[in-house]
Amino acid sequence: MDSSGVATGVRILVVDDEVAIQRFLKTVLGSEGFSVHQAETGKLALVAAAVVRPELILLDLGLPDLDGVEVIRRIREWSPVPIIVLSVREREDDKVQALDAGADDYLTKPFGSGELLARIRVALRRAVQEAPEPVYKIGELEVDLGHRRVTVQGREVQLTPTEYDLLRLLVSHAGKVLTHRQILKQIWGAGYLEQPHVLRVNISNLRHKLETDSSRPRYILTEAGVGYRLKGDY
Amino acid sequence: MVETDDKRPSPEALLKLAQAEEVEAGQGKLNIFLGYAAGVGKTYAMLEMARQRRQSGADVVVGYVESHGRAETDALLAGLEIIPKAAIVYQGVSLPELDLDAVLARKPQIALVDELAHSNPPGSRHEKRWQDVLEILNGGIDVYTTVNIQHFESLNDVVAQLTGVVVRETVPDLLLDRAAELRLVDITPDDLLQRLQEGKVYVPEQATKAMEKFFQAGNLIALRELSMRHAATRVDDQMRAYQESRALPGPRSVAERLLVCISGSPFSERLLRITRRLANEMKAPWYAVYVEPPGSDKFARENRDRIWRDLRLAENMGAQVASITATSVAEALVDYAQRHNITKMVVGKPAKSRWRELLRPPIVDQVIRRSGQIDVFVVSIRPLENRPRELSGPRPKIPWSGHLGALGLVLGASLFCVLIRPFFSPTNMVMIYLLAVVVAAIRLGRAPAILTAFLGVLAFDWFFVPPAFTFEVANSEYLLTFAALFVVGVVISTLVARGRERAEAMWLRELQTASLYHLSRDLAMAADTFAIIKAVQRNLTESLNGEPLFFQPIGEQLEFVDSGEGPTPDLKEQAVAAWAFRNQQSAGRGTDTLGSAAFLYLPLKGSASLMGVLGVKLAKDDDYTSQQHRLLLDAFAGQTAMALERVHLTQQAGQAQILATRENLERALLNSISHDLRTPLSSITGILTSLREPGNGLSPEGRNELLATACSEAARLNRFVGNLLDMTRIEAGGVKLKLEPCDLQDLVGCALAHLESRLAGRPVNVEVPADLPLVLLDLVLMNQVLINLLENSVKFSPVGSAIDLAVRIDRSALLIEIGDHGQGLPEPELKKIFDKFYMVPRPEGGGGTGLGLSICKGIVEAHGGTIRAENRDGGGLRIIVRLPLKLAPEEGESHGQ
């Protein structure tokens, strides 16, 4: 792949207080051509974010001084830099909080280096790309945002307006996790934040229309306890 | 050999010593300053001793000392901490008394309490001061006290005989036994008399006359001797105890046992004291027995009270007491003695008139005739001249109606005889009169029956013996008829009456036995404390017409147990119960302690500890002192305590079992953790070190294979840690369900996506109807359940075989079924697989943690559902999760469309 080409000199800030993880990430990212900067605490991370101006931040949620979610919030006050959260499995709520606060993606520890690099690439590409591509294509699903046309295996699928809005939201964030709150707020408005069943029903309907086997979805993936993600093309 | 054996302390002696020490632990020591009369200087000696102890650093307070204005005593009191006296108001007069609670609250090392034999005014907690002292001792406080020798119960009558003065305030001998130290305070009688003349001896005004009689040289000498002798006996006892504990060779006591028979006569008390003295001298245990003749209920109540009092007294003096019902007193006594290996019997010889002895041999003679090997001591008992006559109770009411009935019967019989006169000879009329006597004996009792016999003779003579209508007898043959009629009448009436009395006694005993039987049957069935309380409540009401209250210890405190019905005790009653509990003695109504309470409180003594307190309210005042009631109540309390203890022990055993099970689990956990954590770690470590080795000569394929293994081992480790965390959360009760509307297809999809790599291309037949409604579930946790179940199926079925997953709704339940095509499990294993750390023994080894399915169980149960396993018809295992169906609210859906 053209990974080394994309990565050359790209500044990544790694925020983690575990020396072993720092060392591992530095090795992996460094060998891919990224320029790796490190911070061990939340406060140092905030300083480094301002000084280094990284193009992507890898942030561990369990920091010794500040709460990781707080770090995201403070960075988001002034910077749209992509933030990927590194978290342990047990803390679904933390992940949701981090995503709602503005994180772009999350990775559950332990993770493989391949997975990590893929997520980084998606995040970087989305950051560069201003507007979503007018035609999204993955597998046999094709969404033409310009013409509001959705086809599966070349066959046009009829969607309700809500379903289409939902799909468009997912498409415009393809590869990224969207939390339930984020989707509910975007599509139905803040008044629907506590009515998750609306979302479930529409996702279910969408799947029936788009997936060949809705109990083994290929496009609209569920992140249990967190939200949904449209499969990205990585 | 034998000699050395002899010198070793006997086990019994050691045991006694150990018990004595046990009793002492936590209890105060009693120091008694013993004198022989007022004015010998007991209080002075006590205060002097107290000052010495204070100087050597002991914490001494004066609980109660009366100086009677004597300057020497006041001087000694100065500088000692004095607890203010409590003022008890009695009949409008405020009496300074010992403030027991203040002493207990102050909790000094030593408390001084003067005049041990003092009687407290009504309204105090205890009737007697010695009871106060016992309570202070139980509170762990040493007590210095003073008492004169004549106040001890067992010497009371001796003193009365010696001096002619009856001392009313007595102290049980038990206190003398409790005393750790006995100090004899002694001056010569001459000096004492001199002090009396100098006015240095305080004499209460109202007793001046008695005192004058008391303070005579002869009396004083006798009393002095008595006190010295008593002190010497005690020294002797101590010597013996010392010898026994150190096994010094010395005189041994033969195994003697004494028995005294009491009858409820006014002299029984003396008999008891005499026997106690004998027993003390012989170092022998002793028994006091009362034989109750059947029908003794007819005795005057006072007499019964006296028997009860005597038995209590005997118990106080250290005797074992028993009360037996039997017709023949002598026979019962000897039988009891033989069964208890009695060696010596003490009986009183009553002064009965000669002619009565002729009629009926005295019990003493009967006992002696039957006694066999047992020595019998006959003590002659004469009433003491100075002893106030025991009040004779109201004379038994003469049943006039009975006697009228007798008259009626005789008249009836006579009338009948007049009617049949033409057909029968006069001698046959006698039979009719006899019949009347029998009827009277059965219906009216003994006295009317005898009256009937007498009247019958007269009527027979008057009406039918020629010459008729006179009392003259023409034929002297009739005199024999008269005599026979009368004697037969008397004999019949006596026999019938006795039979009836016996039947009555039997009936009473029968009632008692039956009520005890019912109680013990109910208690045996009671499985918990509440059931026991109910059982006692029911039985107590039925057999004694009493109301019970229950108290149970909770920690150090005694708490009232509310059974839902019956009365609730007020604070005062609770305090009395607490006292009974703390002091392990009965208290309240009918006892010497806190007698003004509404209930009688009996401590429930189990074999190891006190199980609580039973409070009882009886219907009548007399019932509290009636021996029958008290015996039955004691039996009730004993049975209840045993039942409570049994329940308590059962609970403890249950807890111990739970603990043992938990311990096993913990061991399994440790084994599992160490095995499951270390195994992947060791292969990862092995692989990493071998890769690190310079020049390891591995081929690229070899390297890749090793790395793949390391990765999969790391994944396994991660799964295990995840499982452990889940399990810990479930165990800690930390599973908080976050119920959200779930699309079941989504649920299944998530799990399958998660397991994609592990399923390794295995076919999974998913059967989820598309039209299932949204269901309220914790998606993350149920996802975990599905993952674990699927993993389990993967593990225990052949590679490449299909896994079937079906979700359906069955009435009000959501069913999730996951089946494999493996071997299935033997029946008994089916239940165990959900246990923590249970691993199905398989030759190939599954590499499981034994946690996956128990986590599933935990999560499913948190949802209010069930999980079970069954073997499929075609082979293989099916696990069925059944969840209560909770549908998500549907409103809002229309907004989305």
Looking at the structure, do residues B17 and B130 belong to the same domain, yes or no? yes
Which of B688, B743, B762 is best to mutate for the A interface (most A CBs within 10 A)? B743
Instruction: Quickly state the pLDDT bin for A12 (edges 50, 70, 90).
Output: very high
Pick the last residue of a domain from B380, B395, B416.
B380
Query: How many angstroms separate the CA of residue A230 from the nearest CA in chain B?
Result: 14
Q: Specify the CATH number for the domain of residue B181.
A: 3.40.50.300
What's the CA gap between B411 and B894, in Å, rounded?
Answer: 109
User: Å from A109 to nearest chain B CA?
Assistant: 9
Q: What is the pLDDT of residues A61-104, one digit of tens each?
A: 888 888 888 999 999 998 889 999 988 766 678 888 889 898 98
Split at pLDDT 50, 70, 90, the class of B246 is low
Range(s) of the domain holding residue B155: 11-246
d(CA B511, CA B500): 16
Radius of gyration of chain A (CA): 18
Provide the percentage of residues in chain B whose pLDDT is more than 70: 86
Pairing mode of beta strands B587-588, B344-349: unpaired
Nearest CA in chain B to A192: B892
**Residue linked to tokens 């005890």:** B516
* CA-based nearest distance A24→chain B, Å: 15
State whether B149 and B278 are in the same domain.
no
Q: How far apart are CA A136 and CA A58, in angstroms?
A: 27
Picking from B305, B260, B60, the residue whose alpha carbon sits closest to that of residue B154 is B260
Tell me whether residues B892 and A198 touch, CB distance under 8 A.
yes
3-state secondary structure A139-158: CCEEEECCCCEEEECCEECC
Residue numbers of A between 138 and 157 with CB closer than 8 Å to B: none
Q: In a 3-state reduction of DSSP, which class is residue B729?
A: helix
Q: Report phi then psi at A65, rounded to 5.
A: -105, -60
b/e map A163-189, b = 16+ CB within 10 Å? bbbbbbbbbbbbbbbbbbbbbbeebbe
Looking at the predicted structure, is the pLDDT value of residue B58 above 50?
yes
Report phi then psi at A204, rounded to 5: -60, -45
Cα separation of A8 and A34, whole Å? 6
| CA–CA distance, B747 with B780 (Å, rounded to integer) | 9
Q: Please indicate, yes or no, if residue B847 is contained in any of the structural domains.
A: yes
- Does B849 map to a domain? yes
Beta pairing partners, A58 = A14, A84
The domain made up of A135-230 is a member of CATH 1.10.10.10? yes
Domain(s) labelled CATH 1.10.10.10 in chain A stretch across 135-230
Tell me how many degrees the CA angle B535-B540-B545 measures, rounded to the nearest 5.
Answer: 145
Task: Give the range among A228-232, B27-31, B298-302, B673-677 with minimum mean pLDDT.
Answer: B298-302
How many domains does the structure of chain B reveal? Answer: 4
Nearest to B158 by CA among B220, B202, B222: B222
Q: Are residues B757 and B877 in the same domain?
A: yes
Q: Does B740 touch chain A (CB under 8 A)?
A: yes
pLDDT over 50 at B40, yes or no: yes
Under 8 Å CB pairs connecting chains A and B tally to 78
In a domain, B454, yes or no: yes
Q: Which residues of A touch B749 (CB under 8 A)?
A: 214-217, 222
State pLDDT tens for residues B261-316. 887 777 777 788 788 878 877 778 889 988 877 655 555 555 667 787 788 888 87
Percentage of residues of chain A with pLDDT beyond 70: 93
State whether B59 and B126 are in the same domain. yes
Are B325 and B456 within one domain? no
The average confidence (pLDDT) of chain B is 79
pLDDT of residue B67 exceeding 90, the answer is no
pLDDT at A7 over 60: no
Residues of chain B in contact with residue A204, where contact means CB-CB under 8 angstroms, are 743, 745-746, 774
A162/B748 CB distance under 8 A: no
Q: Which pLDDT tens digit goes with each residue over A176-215? A: 889 988 999 888 888 888 888 888 888 988 988 888 887 7
Residues of A within 8 A of B752 (CB-CB) are 215-216
DSSP B887: B
Q: Rounded to the nearest 5°, which phi and psi values hold at A129? A: -70, 120
Kindly identify which residue of chain A lies nearest to residue B893, measuring between CA atoms.
Answer: A198
Pick from B774, B889, B896: which is nearest to A162 by CB? B896
Q: Is the pLDDT of residue B858 over 60?
A: yes
CA-closest candidate to residue A57, choices A33, A82, A24: A82
Name the one residue in this structure whose structure tokens are 């210890």: B553
Q: What pLDDT sits at residue A183? A: 92
Distance from CA of A90 to the nearest CA of B (A): 8
B752 with A224: Cβ contact below 8 A: no
Residues 16-35 of A with CB under 8 A from B: none
Residues forming CATH 3.40.50.2300 domain(s) in chain A: 3-128
pLDDT at B359 (0 to 100): 55
Q: How confident is the model at residue A233 (pLDDT cuts 50, 70, 90)?
A: low
Q: Which of B214, B246, B278 is the last residue of a domain?
A: B246
How far does A10 lie from chain B, in Å, by closest CA? 29
Q: Is the pLDDT of residue A57 over 90?
A: yes
Tokens of residue B577, six digits: 């119960």
Give whole-number Cα distances, B784 to A109, B286, B750, B755, B787, in Å. 17, 77, 10, 11, 5
What span, in angstroms and rounded, lies between the C-alpha atoms of A209 and A219?
Answer: 12
Q: Is the pLDDT of residue B352 over 70?
A: no
B360 plus B478 within the same structural domain: no
- Report strand pairing: B344-349 vs B320-325: unpaired
Residue B640 forms part of a structural domain: no
Q: Residue B348: which CATH number? A: 3.40.50.620
User: Which one of B464, B481, B502 terminates a domain?
Assistant: B502
Question: Do both B269 and B241 map to the same domain?
Answer: no
What's the mean pLDDT when you consider all of chain A? 85
Statement to judge: residues B195 and B98 lie in one domain? yes
pLDDT at residue A3 tops 60 = no
Give the pLDDT band of residue B338 (cuts 50, 70, 90).
Answer: confident
Q: Is B42 helix (H, G, I), strand (E, B) or coil?
A: helix
> In this structure, what CATH number is given to the domain that contains residue B822?
3.30.565.10
Tally Cβ neighbours within 10 Å of residue B810: 9
pLDDT in the model for residue B335 = 87
State how far Cα B889 lies from the chain centre: 60
- The partner residue sitting opposite A224, judged by closest CB among B722, B779, B889, is B779
Check pLDDT > 80 for residue B213.
Answer: no
In angstroms, rounded to a whole number, what is the distance separating the alpha carbons of residues B172 and B117?
9
Question: Pick the residue with more confidence: B858 or B8?
Answer: B858
Q: Are both B186 and B264 inside the same structural domain?
A: no
φ, ψ for residue B592, nearest 5 deg: -80, -15
Tell me the nearest-neighbour CA distance from A212 into chain B, angstroms.
12
Dihedrals phi, psi of A144, to nearest 5 degrees:
-100, 100
Q: Look at residue B816 and tell me whether its pLDDT is greater than 90.
A: yes
Co-location of B269 and B216 in the same domain: no
Q: Strand ranges (DSSP E) for A30-176?
A: 35-39, 56-60, 83-88, 105-109, 135-138, 141-144, 149-152, 155-156
pLDDT tens string B77-107: 888 888 888 887 777 777 788 888 888 888 8
Mutate which: A197, A208, A229, vs B, most B CBs within 10 A: A197
Mean of pLDDT values over B542-555: 82
* pLDDT (0 to 100) of residue B845: 47
Assigned domain for B190 exists: yes
Q: Does B753 touch chain A (CB under 8 A)?
A: yes
Same domain, B795 and B877: yes
Residues B120 and B219 in one domain: yes
CB-based contact, B712 to chain A, within 8 Å? no
Is B443 inside a domain boundary? yes
For residue B707, which residues of chain A lie inside 8 Å, CB to CB?
none
Give the mean model confidence (pLDDT) for residues B591-596: 78
Nearest CA in chain A to B890: A197
**For residue range B417-426, what is the model confidence (pLDDT) as tens digits?**
888 888 887 7
Looking at residue A58, what is its pLDDT?
93
The verdict on residue B599 lying in a domain is no
| Contact state of B897 with A162 under an 8 Å Cβ cutoff | yes
The answer to the question of residue B633 being in a domain is no
Q: How confident is the model at residue B249 (pLDDT cuts 50, 70, 90)?
A: very low
Greater confidence (B99 vs B427) lies with B99
Tell me the pairing of strands A35-39 and A56-60. unpaired
Which of A89, A198, A222 lies nearest to residue B896, judging by beta carbons?
A: A198
A210: tokens are: 């788009």
Smallest CA-to-CA distance from B613 within B595, B626, B600, B601 is with B601
Tell me what percent of the residues of chain B surpass a pLDDT of 90.
Answer: 4
Secondary-structure class of domain A3-128 per CATH: alpha beta
- What pLDDT is recorded for position B301? 53
β-pair type (B86-90, B142-148): unpaired
Q: What mean pLDDT is predicted for residues B611-618?
A: 88
List the single residue in B725, B749, B893 with the smallest CB-CB distance to A198.
B893
Coil vs helix vs strand at B60: strand
